Structure 1
Amino acid sequence: MTKVLVLYYSSYGHIEQMAEAIAEGARDGGAEVAIKRVPETAPDEVVEGAGFKTDYDHPIAEVDELPEYDAIIVGAPTRFGRMPSQMAAFWDRTGGLWMKGALNGKVAGAFTSTASQHGGQETTLFSIITTLFHQGFTVVGLDYGFQGQMGVEEVKGGSPYGATTIAGNDGSRQPSDTELDGARYQGRRIAETAAKLAA
Structure 2
Amino acid sequence: MKTVLILYYSRHGATASMAQQLARGVESVAGTQAMLRTVPEISEVCEAVADTVPASGAPYVALDDLKKCDALALGSPGRFGNMAAALKYFLEKTSSLWLSGALTGKPAGVFTSTSSLHGGQESTLLSMMLPLLHHGMLITGLPYTEADLISTQSGGTPYGASHVSGSDSSRPLTDEEKRLCVALGKRLAQLAQKL
- Structure-1 residue corresponding to 2:162: 164
Structure 2: gaps spanning 5 or more residues: 46-53
**Equivalents in 2 of 1:176, 1:42: separation in Å?**
32
Does the 8 Å contact 1:149/1:156 carry over to 2? no
The whole-number CA distance in structure 1 between the counterparts of 2:180 and 2:73 is 14
Write the distance in 1 (CA, Å) between the matches of 2:55 and 2:123: 29
CA deviation map 1:141-195 (0-9, x unaligned): 111121112136xx31000000000011121212112101100001001110111
Q: Which residue of 2 aligns with 1:35?
A: 36
What CA distance in whole angstroms lies between the structure 1 residues aligned with 2:109 and 2:164? 19
Aligned residue number for residue 56 of structure 1: 56
Q: Cα distance, 1:38 vs. partner?
A: 0.9
**AA matched with 1:63:** L
Superposed, 1:139-178 pairs within 5 Å as 139-151=139-151, 155-178=153-176
Aligned with residue 192 of structure 1, among 185, 190, 193: 190
Q: Which moved more, 1:186-195 or 1:141-150?
A: 141-150
CA distance in 2 between counterparts of 1:38 and 1:172 reads 22
Which runs of structure 2 are paired with 1:25-174 in the superposition (5 Å)?
25-30=25-30, 31-43=32-44, 56-151=56-151, 155-174=153-172
- Measured on the aligned residues, the alpha-carbon RMSD in Å equals 1.4
TM-score (norm 1): 0.89
Structure 2: distance between partners of 1:29 and 1:139: 19
Question: Structure 1 counterpart of 2:39, which letter?
Answer: V
Cα displacement (A) at 1:42: 2.9
* Aligned equivalents of 1:21, 1:43: Cα separation in 2: 32
Q: Percent identity?
A: 40
* Deviates most, 89-98 or 35-44: 35-44
Tell whether the 8 Å contact from 2:109 to 2:140 is kept in structure 1 after alignment. Answer: yes
Structure 1 position 55, deviation (Å): 5.0
- Per-residue CA deviation, residues 68-101 of structure 1 (Å, 9 max, x unaligned), is 0000100100010000100000100001110111
Structure 1 stretches of at least 4 aligned residues deviating more than 4 Å after TM superposition: none
Evaluate the alpha carbon distance shift between residue 151 and residue 40 of structure 1 in structure 2; reply closer, same or farther with a 3 A threshold: same
2:43, 2:166 → 1: CA distance?
Answer: 22
Alignment length (residue pairs): 186
TM-score normalised to structure 2 length: 0.91
